[in-house]
Chain A
């Protein structure tokens, strides 16, 4: 076996691993190095992202034409939207951000590793079994058919008496455990392991977003766990437990309260890391410091706090009192304020800057352009009367996909392209990166845009078949989704190909404009990131000397 040549943290640690490929792989899988775990997270998320993408393609094939296209039996179709959502939310977006953060956060705060390296490894290794458990129904030909929301009574054992549903619930509890472990780890790391000179309000915004996100996970996930626990008892012992069963004195709406108490904050769990990440990208490629740093950090905290107080806006049609709905509506609308602040601050950061259009920046720009649409359709949906009309229609589908595809997914791409040179020490193929961006930007609009129209016209969600008046729009959406999916394969191929064949990356790869600690160590970083404890000094900004050399926007001592 030839010797394994790799630089930095990629290089084998033990003598055995230097010569044996299997020992090297084993070393990777058991490594407690946050950087390696981060890469494992990203690889896992990529796999699950493709899996979720395939599920969505199956959905779109069925909907491409009026009438039965792919599935003779509607029950197979009914399972797909829920499984697609589960795969994308719990196994793609959240792990992808956790992966990026695992790599970047310890370095950004000047720490050698996470606070609990073994807990970190354990949190990752819960995920693959959790995924297997969640989707175990595929092997048993028994899939949960109640959507990702799993509202009882439909999800109890009388109406969904399939074993696959029990596995699904158990899998979600495991994912919750995993993400809670990761959140505890991030909080301990960021609160306690910053290097000399790094104060809370000097943290890079990406790290800040992880603080906020971790708090969200910590406080919200257990509530979902308790709801799923109650649901499991009801499913397992139908004679004795009736928490959500009106026939036994329970309340089906209670589940919705508990569920949305988690699942609304979950939306912010999925978008706040993206907000933080995009701030880094924009300031690097605009050569300007972020505009209104403190307000950016505070607005993330405001979003998190408000995110806990708005869950019932998913339940306007369940018959809750008018006064309660008014309260939830105002809190919901308040979220638009900090979100607006962030959008305007990004624009102001670019304003007067020097913008370079590399792939990460293209994704950042695409994110701002498209996410604004998702944000504004959210304002439309916040209005109770309008929401009642649009609730559970394709308008909501369009909204959530503009938020999660144009928001979370594009920021994940921006982050992966942005830190790819740092993670691998190689440069990705720029041409295919741009092709990937344009396919994504254009075809996500083709796919999701007309769904606004369908919703306004009254096409409900989770429909196996629909009124023929929606056929043309659904056909366009389906063709758009096929191209969108193929575009993502280009991304995966580009990353894998470039890891072997790309040019070597520089330490501060992006024109010397990276201003956070990760850009001041080699690409890829060494084991333990820093050879001696780093010291962070407040950024020295040069207002009066436009001719200063690149990369000296702040001083930093290694």
Chain B
């Protein structure tokens, strides 16, 4: 060992000014063969360390980063790719230097005595400034993208309010024209329009997350967070009527400013035949149907979900994000406003009609099939279709009349289900009003739909209990409170059969002589549902036992109150 060390010492060449050994590399390899094992493993390790991240940080332009389907998203993707390139370069430099150091400067003899240096101001200054410069570069690039993607454009075409609750989303659409407003569980927007998204929550924190569009924003109760975007859709939205001024080429190949990304697939110039891209996973509760509800529209679907831990089913808050051509979007809105729930239709069909007409509409035994029937498939014969369902058929075999069993909405639902499912494309759909008209024409009693389903009592109590937390300060947890505060337990006002007075107090406030302060209209801002829940809770807790109040009851009483203002 010592002989070896001596050789080393003897072989040591003059020392250069940098302090590094100038010993020839090949000689050093020979001398250090006992460490070849470590060197080899180090090579493998570092090779892995370089290779793995290069894919992790995404090779620029490989499309790993998914925010590719909105204009802002593409800018972010380009920014990401730029930063990834820089980071990859730094990583290769660091790992490379580490590798060289491990191989070149491994200990060859226990008597190795390397030269000491305590630092090099120029070198230290250089890498400090280098790191600083790179960071400033990245920072400035980010600021550019931030201002470009986040500055609200002069013209917003549509505003959608996304309201999160445990554990689902509601999207509220407001329209400028006579169409009014619409609420839906899917986010549906027209392509290439400036859409403003207002995100809020009714309970805990959530976050709306649509990876493909590059959207993520927290839903904070009591706040509206704003984001705007301009999404790509299927190719047809570039047809001239909406975007006459836009060069077709540009839409076919969405580009970033530098042209780094070319995602031509979605925009390939082929005829549009409805849904171009489909979401294939929407969580456990909602299996993706064979036929998407957006099959009939020129649209693309993206997956949306929740990104902020929000309790039990946080992981199952998926929703569809659908981007449509403007004309498809208008059609969709009209369809929704005249909406009859096809799912309800199917339930009724399976329960009442399938026994004779067959679950697939092909008929059972001597009962006639619906598939292929003119009445079901011809839009002009829709009225006759309604008549048959309402009045039945007095033939052999006969069909019973359903006019007394199902209301207008239910009749419309089952008819629409049949027309969509068995009539095929072009059969058209009907509305509740059509049914009401035919009822009148046939001389039946009107049977309008009670559109609002009664709420589950447990649900009302649950919500009510939560709301009551705000009342505890005065009324106490037991509903009794101090002397000068009216007790809830056993109160006549609370227990009234139709709680008109109670609602009036809650939404208008009340001054009482014995009350030192002013009572404020606490419940003014509550929705019908919330008010109904609170009332139900008050009427069924603290030994009270009055009937449940439903949201539609509250609605009725509210409109009554509006007509008879207090003096």
B-contacting residues of A (Cβ < 8 Å)?
74-75, 78, 145-147, 149, 151, 153-154, 158-160, 238-240, 246-248, 252-253, 286-289, 291-295, 317-319, 322, 325-326, 329-330, 333-334, 336-337, 340-341, 343-345, 347-348, 350-357, 365-366, 368-370, 372-373, 376-377, 379-380, 382-386, 388-389, 391-393, 398, 438, 441-442, 445, 449-450, 452-453, 456-458, 460-469, 511, 541-543, 545-548, 550
Contact = CB atoms under 8 A, between A and B. Distances in A.
Nearest to B72: A385
Contacts of B149: 385
Contact of A317 (B65, B102, B217): B217
A102 B263 CA distance: 57
A466 B226 CA distance: 28
B291 interface: no
Given A291-B118, A398-B56, A78 B470 contact: no
A369 B45 contact: yes
Interface residues of B, number: 114
Contacts of A383: 79-80, 83, 138-139, 141-142
8 contacts: A159-B204, A291-B120, A319-B220, A372-B90, A389-B65, A457-B211, A460-B306, A541-B118
B542 interface: no
A286 B135 contact: no
B305 A460 contact: yes
B395 interface: no
A114 to B, nearest CB: 31
A372 B142 contact: no
Given A325-B146, A385-B76, A456-B64, A153 B138 contact: no
Given A253-B220, A319-B218, A383-B142, A373 B91 contact: yes
A376 B311 contact: no
Given A347-B101, A389-B67, A546-B115, A384 B142 contact: yes
Contact of A154 (B311, B315, B472): B311
Interface stretch (B35-43, B230-238, B240-248, B268-276): B35-43
B204 A153 contact: yes
A376 B309 contact: no
A449 B52 contact: yes
Contact of B84 (A380, A465, A511): A380
Contacts of B281: 467-469
A354 B107 contact: yes
B307 A542 contact: no
B135 to A, nearest CB: 4
Contacts of B212: 458
B218 A351 contact: no
Interface of B: 9, 12, 18-21, 35, 38, 41-42, 45-46, 48-49, 52-53, 55-58, 64-67, 73, 75-76, 79-80, 83-84, 86-87, 90-91, 94-95, 97-98, 101-102, 105-108, 110-120, 123-124, 127-128, 131-132, 135-136, 138-139, 141-143, 145-147, 149-150, 166, 203-205, 207, 209, 211-212, 214, 216-218, 220-223, 225-226, 281, 283-284, 303, 305-316, 466, 469-470, 472-473, 477
Contacts of B310: 154
B309 A356 contact: no
A322 B150 contact: yes
B53 A373 contact: yes
Nearest to B45: A441
B225 to A, nearest CB: 4
A465 B315 contact: yes
B116 A288 contact: yes
Given A329-B142, A345-B119, 5 more contacts: A350-B101, A355-B105, A392-B307, A438-B41, A445-B52
